[in-house]
Structure 1
Amino acid sequence: MTNVFATPAKIQTGKRLFDIGIEYLESEGYEITRVPKAGKKSLRRVAKNGREFNVAVRTSQDQWFAFPRGDDGSWLGMDDVDVERVIVVALNTREEGKEQIGLVHDFPASEVRDRLNRNYAARLASNPDLDISHGNWISLYGVEAKEPISLVGAGIGLKHKPVARIPLLGTSAETELDDEDYLEADESGENETVEASADEGLTIPEAKRRLAITLGVDPSAIKISIEA
């Protein structure tokens, strides 16, 4: 589902963050190719010193990231394509007034999976009708806690510090990356995931999304009433 709330500026930022993830892998000496017939635009096959494995690249402009869950309990874009590592490139939104930087994290897929499973189990226990087909969210930099439920499994970005800090200034090298590629890589790309910019104000769908993350419920369960 295309995110109609993604502004052109945010799409370009997302593309640049994705490119930063690719630049990091290249700087590590990996030969990078797309995975044939995988159908996952944010998936890459990397090879180095005779060893090959799959890497999922995710970007985040609000310092949360997600994977959608399949009907069989697998994490789509990771389990179904045997991903070994997850690269998450987060915008440094907490460093106000400073140059925009892509914070590159290199996570073991096994740990990402464990945190997703724990977060999902907590959400499901709180809401048996939970629908996270559009993505189960975990916080990169929140301190893990049992309450609120959204912080179960949080903090992987605190444990695994950024391995690279790359300025956003520059041009995108991944010219094949189109808007749909960006939407898949950016916070799973199938929900109203892009944080509203300051000049746009906060949209109701975005407010519902943030409340849903905090409360551990589906956005459809949240009703917002505005009184003038």
Structure 2
Amino acid sequence: MVNLLGGLSETVRWRLLVDAAKKAAAAEGYSLSRVPGRGLSNIWNITKDGKTEMASIRTTRDRFIAFPPLEGGSKWKTLDDVETVIVAAVDSKVDPENIEVYIFPADEVRKRFNASYAARLQDGQTVKDNFGMWVPLDHDDRGLAASVGSGIIDHYKRVASYSIPDLLANSTHEDTSIVESEQQIPDASESALSTIAEVMAWARDRVAQIAGVQANAVKLDLKIEY
């Protein structure tokens, strides 16, 4: 079993997903122009039938999407700035063959993130400001706090599905020609981490959120070999 994305660099994989999102939005009748000066947020103006909105393009290789809470969960970084969320997701995190694209109203995404945030707090979990909080696209029937807010794709079906080999065939496979002039990288809170302790804390929180447990229940070991 060969992971079609496994041999690609992080930048190329991300760019492939973003290109799929843009291609699907264009096929749905939207014209896109990137909002400048937004750093890693990947925000676009999208126009259809004379109406222009702001959209956030999110990419995921595990079928979870993330937005960072702010001010104790009363606000959401990036999400509060847009009317639409466009998501490009692999069809399988283990053996991806296609990239699926979904277009969601931002209000619906906010509602699910608010519910997930509240459920985690009620469960005694700590959700940090300005760190990505993940919610699964697919329905999670485990009944955990981390399950709350899941399953948005049950209500908003995908707008496109593209074969990864076809997308790769239409790209140059080279980082230098795929990365935009602003040198965009995935919009994720871990991009700001600068110490090993911060990375370990982020990884512990990420595992806890996926597993639906408190962070103190997760034990991680780090080994560095030269």
Task: Go from structure 1 to structure 2 and tell me whether the alpha carbon gap of 1:128 and 1:90 turns closer, same or farther (over 3 Å shift).
Answer: closer
Aligned pair 1:119/2:116, yes or no? yes
Match of 1:84 in 2: 83
Match of 1:165 in 2: 161
Aligned pair 1:182/2:185, yes or no? yes
User: Is the 8 Å Cα contact of residues 41 and 56 (structure 2) preserved in structure 1?
Assistant: no
| Aligned positions of 1:54-203 closer than 5 A | 54-71=54-71, 73-79=74-80, 81=81, 83-93=82-92, 96=95, 100-127=97-124, 129-143=126-140, 147-168=143-164, 169=168, 170-171=170-171, 175-176=179-180, 181-184=184-187, 189-191=188-190
The runs of at least 4 aligned residues of structure 1 exceeding 3 Å deviation read: 36-41, 172-175, 203-208
TM-score (norm 2): 0.75
| In 1: Cα distance, 2:71 partner to 2:217 partner | 21
User: Is the 8 Å Cα contact of residues 86 and 104 (structure 2) preserved in structure 1?
Assistant: yes
| In 2: Cα distance, 1:95 partner to 1:22 partner | 24
User: Is the 8 Å Cα contact of residues 66 and 134 (structure 2) preserved in structure 1?
Assistant: yes
| In 1: Cα distance, 2:86 partner to 2:151 partner | 15
Q: Per-residue CA shift, 1:96-126, capped at 9, x if unaligned? A: 4xx7211001111111000000000011112
Match of 1:223, SS? Answer: coil
Match of 1:209 in 2: 206
State the Cα distance separating 1:56 from its structure 2 match.
Answer: 0.6
State the Cα distance separating 1:46 from its structure 2 match.
Answer: 1.1
Match of 1:53 in 2: 53
Instruction: Tell me the C-alpha RMSD between the 2 structures.
Output: 3.2
TM-score (norm 1): 0.74
State the Cα distance separating 1:225 from its structure 2 match.
Answer: 6.4
| In 2: Cα distance, 1:93 partner to 1:76 partner | 27
User: Is the 8 Å Cα contact of residues 46 and 53 (structure 2) preserved in structure 1?
Assistant: yes
User: Is the 8 Å Cα contact of residues 11 and 185 (structure 2) preserved in structure 1?
Assistant: yes
* Structure ranking higher on relative contact order (CA contacts 8 Å, 6+ apart): 1
Stretches of structure 2 lacking an aligned partner (at least 5 in a row): 1-5, 192-199
Aligned pair 1:21/2:9, yes or no? no
Larger deviation: 86-95 or 43-52?
86-95
Stretches of structure 1 lacking an aligned partner (at least 5 in a row): 1-5, 193-202
Between the aligned residues of both structures, percent identity stands at 28
State the Cα distance separating 1:58 from its structure 2 match.
Answer: 0.3
Which letter does structure 1 place at the counterpart of 2:78? G
Match of 1:29, SS? Answer: coil
Which letter does structure 1 place at the counterpart of 2:190? N
Task: Go from structure 1 to structure 2 and tell me whether the alpha carbon gap of 1:116 and 1:205 turns closer, same or farther (over 3 Å shift).
Answer: closer
